[in-house]
Structure 1
């Protein structure tokens, strides 16, 4: 884990140096763009798809946390507690405590209309929802996987595509997401 932090720190410093050199040429330096570029590289999401830097920073800080059923700390966490932690810390709101309860408290969102921060739900070998993650953009989502802990996966991977059920967005989150959106284009996708 320390090696991961060291490499991430070195990448961040490198980006800062490059940004500083570019800032000398351009007077319009934007720290949010630097952060977006950094998280874009780490998470594999296009920087122009990153509307909420706080979301990506929070997810990044939890990457690699081991999975623990019922866990709710960096010593171990499960998928629904991870999504709950994201919503409490990034959006200042509470959603349900398990994936089925969380789904009951959201407005369904079609896969093509997902926005960063939306929840993505899965029915894995069950008729009921058994897994939840946080959509990041570019078909990527963060979640606590029982096999590898907090990680980023792609909705188009065969496994996730097979078990994907639906997306969802708590209605009170719409305004918070809009406030952090980077373009008017995002407004067209919200219902």
Structure 2
């Protein structure tokens, strides 16, 4: 009888420890989510309003400061189109294209005033072709891999981005997309 009580007590203590560990893990995840929300809402001035936005902001937050590297696709270095591709693959579970022009071919153009979190923003920087892409976050802010500062958040209202802004876009349905890997245009696309 005493053995059963000891075993029951040990099981109870084990259960309590496991429950505490799970609560601590959830708490850490919750703390990280709160840090992300606080960063984007207070520091960046972006309102967080949906679960998708939270997942998007968390992904961007995790990549902030990643250096720029033409053709890069990891936290060691990434370029603008690979960053937007990574956002779409990880946050929205979809593929949008491999370079900025190909990505533009796979969106439905959207007026600047109609942009929503997760839409893409395209720029023609000193070119007649699209040369840069970012992911819209809301409140005129977008995340992108800048060739000078790496992954960062910028404002569409900054004079530089206003000057080169081309259009916004929302990905087309899967059956309407054109996926190409035209390497001949790749290097000049990702500045």
TM over 0.5: yes
**Compared CA separation, residues 34 and 48, structure 1 to 2 (3 A):** farther
- Partner residue of 2:94? 93
How many pairs does the alignment contain?
Answer: 147
Query: Are the equivalent residues in 1 in contact too, given 2:52–2:91 (CA < 8 A)?
Result: no
Instruction: Please list, as runs of the form range in 1=range in 2, the aligned pairs for 1:108-119 lying within 5 A after superposition.
Output: 108-119=109-120
Runs of 4+ in 1 over 6 A off after TM superposition: 31-34
In the superposition, the TM-score normalised over structure 1's length comes to 0.70
Counterpart check, 1:58 vs 2:22: no
1:107 match: secondary structure: strand
- Partner residue of 2:162? 161
Counterpart check, 1:79 vs 2:80: yes
**Compared CA separation, residues 169 and 148, structure 1 to 2 (3 A):** same
Q: Deviations over 1:101-121 (max 9, x none)?
A: 000010001000000000000
Listed as ranges, the gaps of 5+ residues in structure 2 are 1-26, 175-191
Query: Are the equivalent residues in 2 in contact too, given 1:118–1:169 (CA < 8 A)?
Result: yes
1:166 match: secondary structure: strand
2:60 match: secondary structure: helix
Query: Are the equivalent residues in 1 in contact too, given 2:84–2:133 (CA < 8 A)?
Result: yes
Distance in 1 (alpha carbons) for counterparts of 2:138 and 2:80: 18
The offset of 1:35, in angstroms, is 5.7
The offset of 1:43, in angstroms, is 3.1
Query: Are the equivalent residues in 2 in contact too, given 1:49–1:138 (CA < 8 A)?
Result: no
Counterpart check, 1:124 vs 2:125: yes
Distance in 2 (alpha carbons) for counterparts of 1:38 and 1:161: 24
1:52 match: secondary structure: helix
Counterpart check, 1:136 vs 2:131: no
In the superposition, the TM-score normalised over structure 2's length comes to 0.70
Distance in 2 (alpha carbons) for counterparts of 1:167 and 1:50: 22
RMSD: 2.6
- Partner residue of 2:182? none
Listed as ranges, the gaps of 5+ residues in structure 1 are 1-11, 17-30, 174-191
Distance in 1 (alpha carbons) for counterparts of 2:92 and 2:49: 20
Q: Deviations over 1:73-116 (max 9, x none)?
A: 00000000000000000000001100000000100010000000
Query: Are the equivalent residues in 1 in contact too, given 2:36–2:61 (CA < 8 A)?
Result: no
Q: Which one has a bigger Cα radius of gyration?
A: 2
Comparing 108-117 and 49-58, the one that deviates more: 49-58
Distance in 1 (alpha carbons) for counterparts of 2:54 and 2:173: 19
The offset of 1:40, in angstroms, is 1.5
